[in-house]
Chain A
């Protein structure tokens, strides 16, 4: 005797994923998140100054953006800051992660809280505090090119390195100390253990956190706004002044280029280590 269960059988799964309300909210959210960005990208190819109705496809505004010296300079500045920020925050982040992972010391909980302050504190507070700080210590404003970016870079490292520290710290938590002891037991030197056991273990976290530091730097507006001088314009600052001036497809084109750079970095980061995503949430 075989009785087929018909559809009247209750769905007993606790999978909220399959519920209709989840699908509705998901759709609404994704439209809300993606539609504006897609519109922005599409209209960077629009052959119209007014940017309202579609007048045909063109690369005109990309050419225009490519010939805009101010914009080019801003891109060079942004990328330079981004690279130095990545290096700086990786170094500080690794040190912090090691410190928090390996050592117990008085007021460690408080220290951990302070490390996260640059992430939690409203950007405007850090921005004005740094503005006042650099002004008070009389930081020279007329330094030659790469050095003129140092103020912004220092500020960027301040809010980037806690992210790096969190990600590497999370990765270190999964490091089995017995692995290291086994390596010593098998006769490896401390240097060999570091390069053969330790580094391979944290490598994905290094790549992910480096790329995150890079995108954070590339994206920052408020803190950069308060630490930049007239000669140290970054892309977001440049786009901001363009937006204030007028809304043209050229802004869309510049935005699309910046967007592509960040998406590439973010894409690589996500691809390298998808499991890390959930940990960012544990901030």
Chain B
């Protein structure tokens, strides 16, 4: 209706200013502050002076911190791969389900995602601890086939962290892939089949290339949050499975070294921007109509 109203310009500013201000005040300015902190020095207990030094970043390249960062990237990467391996066939199957089943299955996939992250992580503890139900189940099975059983220690290690991250992030992979398959023109599959392609060739030369933007979306939506995850390694990880977010938290809450903590956070911010920029470039080079780009 804005077209008819004469005060077009007024409405533009009315819709532009509030969200922009909010983003500016509560996101961009705070990020700039920690950005400037990352180049600052700590003078005394609370004094921080912006002296444009790179010491914090140099310290972040120390072996202990660098290895934590690399490990975080590795853990997030493995999580993304596992989510993809499960998410791809699931999304494909759901997208080709009859309409009734489709919405039921989608809701069933999304519902746990509405449950608090903390609660879900806590729930995993009860299942996977040494005296948890997974081990009970194994024990029962071992008794059944008469094999001596030693409870597995499934918690407080890297595997537990990856398991927890997959548990939490799986819907983020399934939803974009599902949306991609939904928009997929099924006649293309018939055309390929008609031209003599096998089922494998359908997947490799038709489905995957066309669905690539959705795959990239899904991977980014899993990888970035997984990379910066705090709660999962905190609750499920052992002393050696700390991730970068736990180190950052300690700098702010315990060590009280804000400049260094800021530098570590900024590394994550740079990584995020880098990934998004890469994706933007990829998308621009794709054959796809530019108008069809999402995000």
A and B touch in the complex (CB under 8 A): yes
Interface residue ranges, A against B (CB under 8 Å): 14-17, 19, 21-22, 25-26, 28-30, 32-37, 39-40, 43, 51-52, 91-92, 95-96, 98-99, 102-103, 105, 112-118, 120-126, 128-133, 136, 154-155, 157-158, 161, 165, 180, 184, 190, 193-194, 198, 215, 218-219, 221-222, 226, 236, 239-240, 243, 247, 251, 255, 258-259, 262-263, 265-266, 270, 274, 277-283
Q: Is B1 within 8 A of A263, CB to CB? A: no
* Closest chain B residue to A211, Cβ basis: B114
Q: B294 an interface residue at 8 Å Cβ cutoff?
A: yes
Q: What would be 22 A-B contacts, judged by CB atoms less than 8 Å apart?
A: A25-B89, A26-B90, A29-B90, A39-B126, A40-B122, A52-B131, A98-B11, A105-B12, A120-B221, A121-B228, A124-B265, A124-B268, A125-B268, A128-B34, A131-B252, A154-B26, A157-B26, A158-B22, A158-B23, A161-B22, A259-B119, A281-B179
Q: Is B1 within 8 A of A198, CB to CB? A: yes
Q: B2 an interface residue at 8 Å Cβ cutoff?
A: yes
- B170-205 near A? 1/0 per residue, CB < 8 Å: 100011111100100010011001000000001000
Q: B237 an interface residue at 8 Å Cβ cutoff?
A: no
Q: B133 an interface residue at 8 Å Cβ cutoff?
A: yes
Give chain B nearest CB distance to A32 CB in angstroms. Answer: 7
* Closest chain A residue to B92, Cβ basis: A16
A35: contacting residue among B12, B127, B249, B252, CB under 8 A? B127
Q: B118 an interface residue at 8 Å Cβ cutoff?
A: yes
For the A-B complex with A121-B228, A239-B119, A270-B107 known, give 12 more contacts whose Cβ atoms are closer than 8 Å.
Answer: A14-B190, A14-B193, A25-B90, A99-B16, A102-B11, A113-B276, A114-B23, A121-B272, A125-B269, A158-B26, A280-B110, A283-B221
Q: Which residues of B contact A184 (CB under 8 A)?
A: 1, 4
Q: Is B29 within 8 A of A128, CB to CB? A: no
Q: Is A125 within 8 A of B120, CB to CB? A: no
Q: Is B120 within 8 A of A270, CB to CB? A: no
B252: contacting residue among A128, A136, A259, CB under 8 A? A128
Q: Is A262 within 8 A of B114, CB to CB? A: yes
Q: B245 an interface residue at 8 Å Cβ cutoff?
A: yes
